[in-house]
Every structure is written in C-alpha cells, then in structure tokens.
Chains A and B, each alone.
Chain A
Amino acid sequence: MRSARVALIWAALAAAIGVPIAAAAASPLLAWRDPLYILAGFAGIVALGAMLVQPLLIGGYLPGLSGRLGRRAHHWIGGTLVAAVVIHVGGLWITSPPDMIDALLFASPTPFSPWGVIAMWAIFAVALLAAFRRRLGPRKWRIAHLLLAIVIVAGSVVHGLLIEGTMETASKAALCMLVLAAAIKVMADLQGWRKRGSLRGQNIARQ
C-alpha cells in the first residue's frame, strides 16, 4: 500500500514535468528554429519543472527525500534552476540580441517579457542570499526566500502562460497550475517550517 503510494507520487511528478516537455518536443515550431534557440526554450521549460520540485522538496512531500536529504536536493535543484535560466536567457540573447536586450531593459513589446525578467532577478537574488544565509540568520533568510519565491512563482507562471511558443497550451497550463498549487501549499504549511526550524534548534516558532 505504502509502496504503491510512493510509486504514484513519483509517477505523477514525472508526468507533470515529462508530459509538457514531450509535448513541446513534438511542436511543429521546432522545424524552423536552430538548435541553440531550441535549447534556450527547453531550458525555460526545465526551469518551470524545477519550480514544481522545489516546494515539494522543502515541504517534505516527496517520499524518500524529506528532511536533510530533501533540503540538500532543494539546494542542488536551486543551482540547476539558476543554470537553466542562464542558458534560457543566454541562448535567446545569441538567437536575437535586440529582442533579448529589449526584454532585459523592460522595453520589449511582448507582455510576458517583464514577468520573466523579474522572476530571473528574483532567482538570482535567492541564489546570492543562499550563499550568505548564515550571515543573514535563519529568520531573515526565510522571510527573504519566501518573498522572493512568491515573485519567482508568480512571475514565471505569468511569463510562461503568455508566451506563444513550443509548449503545448494544455500541458503548459497544467504545469503552471501545479507550480502555483505546490508553492501555495508549502507556504500555507508554515507548521512544517516551524517544526524543521525547532528541530535544528532555531527559535523561530512564535516570535
């Protein structure tokens, strides 16, 4: 029974991320794009997938990856997310420099661009703060990460939904909703944050 549940959770996660990637891989638009542009686009999809895994790991919802192991995986996937965003932006820059520069300067005609750029800076900010989190202290770090995570999730979901690209509409919308739901679930689940905090001897419970 338990192993069936474990298998089901992992299968659902694999499908939530794998189906949109597979659907995008079948997009007719790929025929008219060169490899670097395709890579940049898929890096964006991988980043969105990583955003689904991150809250699940920190909430301890993934069997076999709770507690310390889950947090370690969260750090590694956070690093992967940064790398994916760098590939996404770098690849698009090389594909069409003026369009990428417009986006980064918030001068782009496309409504989705500023959302993506804001999410990008929030992702970089989390990575930077994570490097200095001991100096920051657990309470400040958690608040900062939480606020930036809200910006990242909201920005990325709007960014993704407004784009007319290789992602198939229904599977993209489903992944975006799951990213949103997972983030809301873990943020609402403050009890989990507190427990873990007190386990590590950090007094953040009722201040």
Chain B
Amino acid sequence: MPIVILNRRNLLAAGGAVLATGVSGLFMPARAEGLAPTPSMPGGSNNYRGGAPIVDRIGKGGFWMSGTVRRAGDGAPLSGQRVQIWAHTTEGREHEPQSHGATLTDKNGMFRLEMPQIVPIFGQPHGHLAYDSGEYKTVFLRPVMRSAKDTSLEAHFVLQPV
C-alpha cells in the first residue's frame, strides 16, 4: 500500500513538475537508475540550532509543516527519522529557541508538525527543515510558501546513506 502511494507521488511529481519544483524544488522524477538524493538548498541551514527537542507542537500551532523522508535509489519510506523544523513565525524569530522543534517520521516515512504561522522574513515567507542525524547525509531544506497567507507547507527528503 505505501508503495502505491509513493508511485502516485512520483507520477504527480513528474507530471506536475512545475508545481512540485515551484513549491519545494525537491522532487526529482524517478529515473531508471533510481531516485536521486535531495540536495541541500541555498540558505537552508541559516539560523539552524542542532538538537532541537522532539515536540508535539511548536508554540501555539495553527500552521502545518509536513513532508516525507525516503531513501535514495529505491525510494523506500524511512520511518523514525528525526526532522528538525524552524522558521520566523508569529511567535518568534528564526534563531530563537522557541521557533525550533523536531518530529519523527511514521512507518510510511511521513512527518507532520504543527507550528505557529510562518511570516515573511528577509523578503520571502519560508521555512527551514533539517535531517541531521548521521545515518544518512545531512540535508537542509528551505521551502518557500506560494502565498504568505498559506497555513501549511511541504518539504520532502530523499536521503543518501553515509
């Protein structure tokens, strides 16, 4: 069942590449040789604080950050992976500890963390995500919201074993 979902995702990503890359710039259409790892995005690690605690929710919530974590090559979903999330929100600046939190992926490699509303900072409404646990190569993402009024944002990781 998860495999079916992932195939559909890949199809969507390949077909609607404009949308997918416009939103996150993360999806690479699956090729014959396998799924390519996600490269870190420019500025992705800015104001990163390693070791943010795993939380049920950052601050008072109201905004949803979600995404998937998969393995490069076969695209298998990776469960139990720690994803760190931070942003400039209505409750704090990007570098402040209360703006940071972490969550774990479920058995389908999906994660979802509620956080305060992201507001534009440095000219773009954007969030930051990190995979930085050592088992796979570290990846920093910096997805941009299509509109500052959006109340959710997605980012997807394809990780490469170290």
Contacts and interface: CB of A to CB of B under 8 A. Distances in A.
Interface in A88-114: 92, 95-96, 98-99, 102, 107-110, 112-113
12 contacts: A32-B88, A34-B93, A92-B122, A98-B43, A109-B41, A109-B124, A110-B122, A113-B123, A164-B125, A164-B148, A165-B120, A165-B123
What is the predominant secondary structure among interface residues of chain B facing chain A?
loop
Contacts, number: 53
A39 B95 CA distance: 19
Interface residues of B, number: 22
Interface residues of A, number: 20
A112 B123 contact: yes
Interface of B: 41-47, 88-90, 93-95, 119-125, 142, 148
Return the 7 tightest CB-CB contacts between A and B, nearest first: A98-B46, A163-B123, A109-B42, A109-B43, A99-B122, A164-B120, A32-B119
A98 B47 contact: yes
Interface of A: 29, 31-32, 34, 92, 95-96, 98-99, 102, 107-110, 112-113, 162-165
A122 B89 CA distance: 34
Given A107-B43, A164-B125, 5 more contacts: A29-B120, A96-B121, A99-B46, A109-B41, A109-B44
A29 B119 contact: yes
A110 B94 contact: no
A163 B89 CA distance: 18
A176 to B, nearest CB: 15
Given A32-B90, A96-B94, A164 B124 contact: yes
A141 B94 CA distance: 44
